[in-house]
C-alpha cells in the first residue's frame, strides 16, 4: 500500500510539473505573438520633418525635408532635389523604425532602406545622422 501511494504521488507530481511547463511555454509564445506586428511609432512619423544648415565652403543655406503621409513620402531639398515615392515600415526596434522607400527622382526609380530614430520627447527624428524637426 505504501508503494502504491508513493507511485500515485510521484505520477501526480510529474503530471503537474508537465502541465505547468506547457502553460509557461504557451504563455511565452503568446507574449511574442502579441508584440510582433505592432508598430508603436507609425502615427508619430506622419507629417513634414525638416533639417537645415549652411554649406561651410560657400555659405549657401540648404535644407532637406521628408513628408510622410499614408504610406507616401515626399523628399525635397535645396539646392535642387525633389522626389516622390512610397514607404513601408519593415520593422521597429525600441525607438528605431526601419523603412523601405521606393521613390522616383527624375526619370529613375530608386529603392533604399532607411533607419529612422524616434525622439518623441523632443518631437524629432534622426535620419542619416541629422536631426529633423516636425514642421507645424
Mean pLDDT of 1-8: 71
Tell if the pTM clears 0.85, that is, is over it.
no
Percent of the chain with pLDDT over 90: 57
> Which three three-digit cell numbers place residue 91?
520593422
31 burial type by CB count under 10 A (0-12 exposed, 13-18 middle, 19+ buried): exposed
Query: pLDDT at position 23, please?
Result: 84
How many structural domains are present in the chain?
A: 2
Q: Between vectors from CA 97 to CA 92 and to CA 103, what angle results, nearest 5°?
A: 130
Give which of 118, 115, 112, 86 is closest to 98, Cα–Cα: 115
122 band by pLDDT with thresholds 50, 70 and 90 = very high
Query: pLDDT at position 34, please?
Result: 46
CATH of the domain at 70: 2.40.128
* 8-24 tens-digit pLDDT: 878 888 888 888 888 88
Same domain, 29 and 68: no
- Which is higher by pLDDT, 16 or 28? 16
For residue 84, give its domain range.
42-134
Same domain, 77 and 17: no
Same domain, 69 and 101: yes
Amino acid at each position: 500500500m505504501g508503494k502504491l501511494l508513493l507511485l500515485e504521488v510521484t505520477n501526480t507530481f510529474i503530471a503537474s510539473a508537465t502541465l505547468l511547463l506547457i502553460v509557461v511555454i504557451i504563455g511565452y509564445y503568446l507574449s511574442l505573438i502579441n508584440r510582433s506586428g505592432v508598430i508603436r511609432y507609425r502615427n508619430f512619423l506622419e507629417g513634414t520633418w525638416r533639417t537645415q544648415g549652411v554649406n561651410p565652403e560657400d555659405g549657401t543655406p540648404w535644407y532637406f525635408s521628408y513628408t510622410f503621409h499614408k504610406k507616401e513620402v515626399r523628399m525635397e531639398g535645396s539646392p535642387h532635389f525633389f522626389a516622390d515615392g512610397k514607404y513601408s515600415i519593415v520593422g521597429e526596434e525600441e525607438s528605431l523604425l526601419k523603412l523601405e522607400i521606393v521613390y522616383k527622382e527624375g526619370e529613375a526609380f530608386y529603392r533604399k532602406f532607411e533607419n529612422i530614430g524616434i525622439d518623441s520627447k523632443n518631437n524629432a527624428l534622426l535620419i542619416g545622422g541629422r536631426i529633423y524637426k516636425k514642421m507645424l
